[in-house]
Chain A
Amino acid sequence: MKFTPEQVRALAGQARLGLTDEEAERLAAQLTDVLQEAERLKELDVEGVEPTLFGVQLVNVWRDDAVEASLPRDAALAAAPDVQDGFVKVPRIVEE
Chain B
Amino acid sequence: MELHDLTVRELRQRLAAKEVSSAEVTEHVLRRIEQLDPHVGAYLTVTADEALAAAKAADEARARGEAVHPLAGVPGGLKDNIVTEGVRTTAGSRVLENWTPPYDATVVRRLKDAGVPVLGKTNMDEFAMGSSTETSAFKKTRNPWDAGRAPGGSSGGSAAAVAAGMGYWALGSDTGGSIRQPAAFCGVVGMKPTYGLVSRFGLIAMASSLDQIGPFTRDVADAAELLNVIAGHDPKDSTSAPGRAPDFTAALKAEAKGLRIGLPKEYFTEGISAEVQAAVRQAAAELERAGATVEEVSLPHAEYALGAYYMIVSAESSSNLGRYDGVRYGRREAGADVPAMMTATRALLGPEVKRRIVLGTFVRGKERLPEYYMRAARVRTLLRRDFEQAFEKVDVLLTPVTPTTAFPLGRRVRSQMEAYAADICTVAVNLAGLPALSMPCGVGADGLPIGLQFIGPAFGDAQVLQAAYTYEQLAWPEGAGRAWRAGKEVDVDGH
Contacts and interface: CB of A to CB of B under 8 A. Distances in A.
**A and B part of one assembly:** yes
Contact of A38 (B339, B376, B378): B376
A54 B238 CA distance: 11
Given A51-B381, A78-B102, A90-B327, A56 B358 contact: no
B328 A16 contact: no
A14 B375 contact: no
B4 interface: no
A21 interface: no
B271 interface: no
Residue from A19, A38, A53 whose CB has the most chain B CB atoms within 10 Å: A38
Contact of B195 (A12, A35, A55): A55
A51 B50 CA distance: 46
A55 B316 CA distance: 12
A5 to B, nearest CB: 11
Interface residues of B, number: 73
Contact of B362 (A11, A58, A71, A80): A11
B382 A46 contact: yes
Classify chain A: how many residues form its interface, as a range.
35 or more
Contacts of B416: 30-31, 33-34
Most buried by B among A41, A42, A44: A41
A67 interface: no
Contacts of A53: 209, 377
A88 B347 contact: no
B328 A88 contact: yes
A61 B372 CA distance: 29
B358 A27 contact: yes
B327 A88 contact: yes
Q: Which of A15, A35, A49, A82 has the most CB of B within 10 A?
A: A15
B325 A16 contact: yes
Contact of A34 (B310, B357, B381, B431): B310
A40 B384 CA distance: 18
B355 A30 contact: yes
B328 A8 contact: no
B417 A55 contact: no
Contacts of A63: 235
B359 interface: yes
A52 interface: yes
Contact of B378 (A50, A61, A78): A50
Interface string A71-96: 10001101111100000101111000
Given A51-B380, A52-B384, A81-B332, A18 B239 contact: no
Contacts of B347: 17-19
Q: Which of B101, B242, B343, B365 has the most CB of A within 10 A?
A: B343
A33 B417 contact: yes
Interface stretch (B51-59, B142-150, B251-259, B299-307): B299-307
Given A17-B343, A23-B351, A49-B382, A79 B100 contact: yes
Contacts of A12: 354, 357-358, 361
Given A38-B307, A41-B304, A44-B301, A49 B417 contact: no
B415 interface: yes
Given A30-B355, A52-B377, A56-B196, A15 B417 contact: no
A10 B239 CA distance: 34
Interface of A: 3, 7-8, 11-12, 14-19, 23, 26-27, 30-31, 33-44, 46, 49-56, 58, 61, 63, 71, 75-76, 78-82, 88, 90-93
The 9 A-B pairs of least Cβ separation, nearest first, read A18-B347, A51-B377, A79-B329, A55-B195, A81-B332, A46-B378, A75-B102, A16-B342, A52-B380
15 contacts: A17-B358, A18-B345, A26-B351, A27-B355, A31-B359, A37-B306, A38-B372, A40-B307, A41-B376, A42-B375, A46-B382, A55-B433, A56-B195, A56-B196, A75-B102
